[in-house]
């Protein structure tokens, strides 16, 4: 399928040299800072859908970037990556030049990952398998505190929140996505012949052309609809090739814009009205709390940072908090709590921040 999207803007990468891979690398960088610049995203889609070669080049670049992010925090990985890239690009800092061949960049990073696997096999096995899947081009993920925008081959766009991972399975008449962990915002290209199905948390969310957010965690499963229409059903096993179709799964909910489907632990699922802008504020780097329990607010802030906040006293959990905070800005969050509540904090040696009730002053 070939999509053509007209554009009157000058192509930001038209002067790039070095072929498709360098152009794809430039587009990747532009999109990471594009925010709500939908005109730029339309220009990108026009370039990507121009040919299968363009789409493949962009997937290679995204795989290389995702691979680097997946294992970037490991000390062994940092040392091995610096050594490998130094041999590859010489003394010029890598950030000052675009990769001349994104496939080579992906191969270099894969080699470094294999080196890390040899140094620390148990701790690095998951990173290796993640990297292998990402190089295959059907898995996308973010690390803690990261966000990423993924453009799929049909024109749909997926925005991944912190520490999230999806796998893409297009075929057999269905555009299938599995949200393996975390949270993602799906802006679905319309295609009535091929439903868009997101599997997560033992359920399926089906859409034809719409925009919705799915968040899955150990605690809850949530679907929030921004526009269009989606259905939520239990996940069903797909029949083997040639086998008869299985009966349709029972309908759990049909959502309309502004509604949210929520399933928490063993409680009965519910559909409720919600503030959509607050739910998806993460895509602009903010978390908005409105009369939230403190333990829930702490858990949400912890998703975006490796610096964790813990409550030392269960009595703090039921305090209610409202406010807006930047994702990953743990210090501002903790200082605000100390300013407005009788709470004090201290840091442990592992950089964990402990909150406890303020001790009465001695007269």
323: pLDDT confidence band, cut at 50, 70 and 90?
very high
3-state secondary structure of 301: helix
Which fold is adopted by the domain 148-275?
Jelly Rolls (2.60.120)
Sign of CA dihedral 308, 314, 318, 321: negative
User: Across the chain, what does the average pLDDT equal?
Assistant: 78
- Considering the entire predicted model, what is its pTM? 0.67
Domain map of the chain by residue range?
20-137, 148-275, 285-357
Lowest mean pLDDT among 95-104, 150-159, 180-189, 339-348: 95-104
Q: Compute the CA torsion angle 348, 353, 355, 361 (nearest 10 deg).
A: 60
pLDDT digits (tens, 9 = 90+) for 251-281: 999 999 999 999 997 788 999 999 999 999 9
CATH dotted code for 285-357? 3.55.50.30
State residue 24's pLDDT score: 82
State residue 144's pLDDT score: 92
3-state secondary structure of 279: helix
Would the CATH topology of 148-275 be identical to that of 285-357? no
Q: What is the mean pLDDT of residues 125-137?
A: 53
60 within 8 A of 103, measured Cβ to Cβ:
yes
State residue 13's pLDDT score: 47
Q: Is the pLDDT of residue 92 over 60?
A: no
Q: Is the pLDDT of residue 242 over 60?
A: no
Percent residues over pLDDT 90 in the chain: 45
45 versus 291: the higher-pLDDT residue is 291
Measured in whole angstroms, the distance separating CA 213 from the mean position of its chain's CA atoms is 11
Place of tokens 């813990």: 310
């Amino acid at each position: 399928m070939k999509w053509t999207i007209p554009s009157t803007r000058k192509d930001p990468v038209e002067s790039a040299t070095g072929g498709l891979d360098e152009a794809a690398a430039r587009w990747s960088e532009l999109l990471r800072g594009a925010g709500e610049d939908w005109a730029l995203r339309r220009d990108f889609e026009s370039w990507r859908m121009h040919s299968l070669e363009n789409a493949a080049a962009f997937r290679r670049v995204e795989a290389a970037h995702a691979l680097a992010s997946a294992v970037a925090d490991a000390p062994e990985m940092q040392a091995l990556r610096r050594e490998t890239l130094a041999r590859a690009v010489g003394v010029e800092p890598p950030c000052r030049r675009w990769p001349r061949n994104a496939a080579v960049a992906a191969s270099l990073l894969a080699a470094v990952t294999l080196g890390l696997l040899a140094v620390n096999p148990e701790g690095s096995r998951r990173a290796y398998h993640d990297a292998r899947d990402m190089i295959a081009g059907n898995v996308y993920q973010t690390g803690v505190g990261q966000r990423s925008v993924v453009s799929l081959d049909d024109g749909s766009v997926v925005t991944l929140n912190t520490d999230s991972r999806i796998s893409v399975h297009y075929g057999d008449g269905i555009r299938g996505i599995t949200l393996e962990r975390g949270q993602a915002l799906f802006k679905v290209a319309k295609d009535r012949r091929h439903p868009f199905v997101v599997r997560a948390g033992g359920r399926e969310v089906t859409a034809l052309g719409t925009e919705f957010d799915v968040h899955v965690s150990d605690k809850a499963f949530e679907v929030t609809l921004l526009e269009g229409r989606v259905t939520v059903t239990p996940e069903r096993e797909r029949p083997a090739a040639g086998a008869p179709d299985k009966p349709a799964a029972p309908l759990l909910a049909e959502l309309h814009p502004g509604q949210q489907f929520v399933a928490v632990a063993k409680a009965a699922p519910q559909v409720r009205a919600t503030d959509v802008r607050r739910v998806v504020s993460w895509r602009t780097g903010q978390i908005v709390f409105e009369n939230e329990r403190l333990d829930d607010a702490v858990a949400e802030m912890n998703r975006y940072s490796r610096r964790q906040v813990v409550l030392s006293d269960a009595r703090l959990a039921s305090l209610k908090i409202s406010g807006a905070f930047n994702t990953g800005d743990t210090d501002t969050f903790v200082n605000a709590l100390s300013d407005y509540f009788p709470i004090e904090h201290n840091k442990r040696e592992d950089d964990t921040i402990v909150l406890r009730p303020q001790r009465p002053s001695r007269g």
